[in-house]
Amino acid sequence: MEIFLQVDTWVALLTLTFLEIVLGIDNIIFISISANKLPENQRKKATFLGLSLAMITRILLLLSVSYLIAMKDPFWHINLSWLSVGLTGQSVILLLGGVFLLYKSTKEIHHKVEKSEGAENKSQSKTLSFSSVIFQIILIDIVFSFDSILTAVGMTNGINGALTIMIIAVVISMIIMMAFANPVSSFVNKNPTIQMLGLAFLILIGFMLIAEGAHLSHLEIFGQTVGTIPKGYLYFAIAFSLGVEVLNMRVRKKGN
């Protein structure tokens, strides 16, 4: 407990908790959209279970952090005149997660556009079973948790008791997200434009994960190295778009 007598410990804990909440918003959006496929009496259960699984996944990944770091070593190389890549465990997880997010978000947008053209699609949107929704949540939890843990490891590098700090930050952030997940989920589901905006955010995040995975695999195409997309730019775009949509909602409300 001596580490909690140091100022650096509390600064790292508060910063990391805030970061985990910010990164977890993506998870809440995905969980709320997936849970919306279930009957109303199962949505809260799916949301709670999804966030609980996310917390367990992140703690397990933290406990195996040395293995995660080792996954940055390439296990497969491609060297052509115009293409060079060295796939790593980290890059493969991020690439697959990004592709899954693009597929899932695009599919959801397609369903919502089709639903506006015919009432029969409304019944089709509720056909997913509880187990299939939880399975999708588990898959995306692994991807979001992986990216979050790698960021946490980088932030706490060199700090005494880093593992303890990271676990406490994950638990606190998840408790906070559990407290606000259902109101956020209800708000998103009651406002179709916010839901569509959330799906667009997930597409952006999917592209970011793919770019980050390509960067970790040192992908070069025609001599050009693929770089990462700064998260600050991405979250600014999300916050700006959300702010504009909130203003649009107020204007529509006054107009009614």
**DSSP H/E element including 76:** strand 76-79
Q: Which pLDDT belongs to residue 120?
A: 44
Q: Give one DSSP letter per residue of 97-113, joined into a string.
A: HHHHHHHHHHHHHHHHH
Q: Which pLDDT belongs to residue 1?
A: 58
Q: Which pLDDT belongs to residue 97?
A: 75
Place of tokens 């997880």: 93
Looking at the DSSP bridge assignments, the partners of residue 84 are 79, 220
Q: Which pLDDT belongs to residue 116?
A: 56
**Confidence band for 126, pLDDT divided at 50, 70 and 90:** very low
171 or 71: which carries more pLDDT confidence? 171
| C-alpha span between 56 and 42 (Å, rounded) | 21
216: burial class by Cβ within 10 Å (0-12, 13-18, 19+)?
buried
- Starting at the earlier edge strand, list the strands of the sheet with 224-225: 76-79, 83-87, 220-221, 224-225
Q: Which pLDDT belongs to residue 113?
A: 75
Mean pLDDT of 79-103: 81
Q: Express each pLDDT in 210-240 by its tens digit.
A: 888 888 888 888 878 877 777 777 768 877 8
Q: Which pLDDT belongs to residue 48?
A: 84
Q: How many CB atoms lie within 10 A of CB 59?
A: 17
Q: Which pLDDT belongs to residue 125?
A: 45
Q: Express each pLDDT in 161-203 by its tens digit.
A: 777 888 888 888 888 878 877 777 777 667 777 777 777 877 8
Residue 31 and residue 46 in contact, taking contact as beta carbons nearer than 8 Å: yes
How many percent of the chain have pLDDT more than 70?
79
Residue 87 and residue 217 in contact, taking contact as beta carbons nearer than 8 Å: yes
Among the listed ranges 32-41, 84-93, 113-122, which one has the minimum average pLDDT value? 113-122
Helix extents (H) in the chain: 7-35, 40-63, 65-70, 89-115, 120-124, 130-155, 162-190, 192-216, 231-255
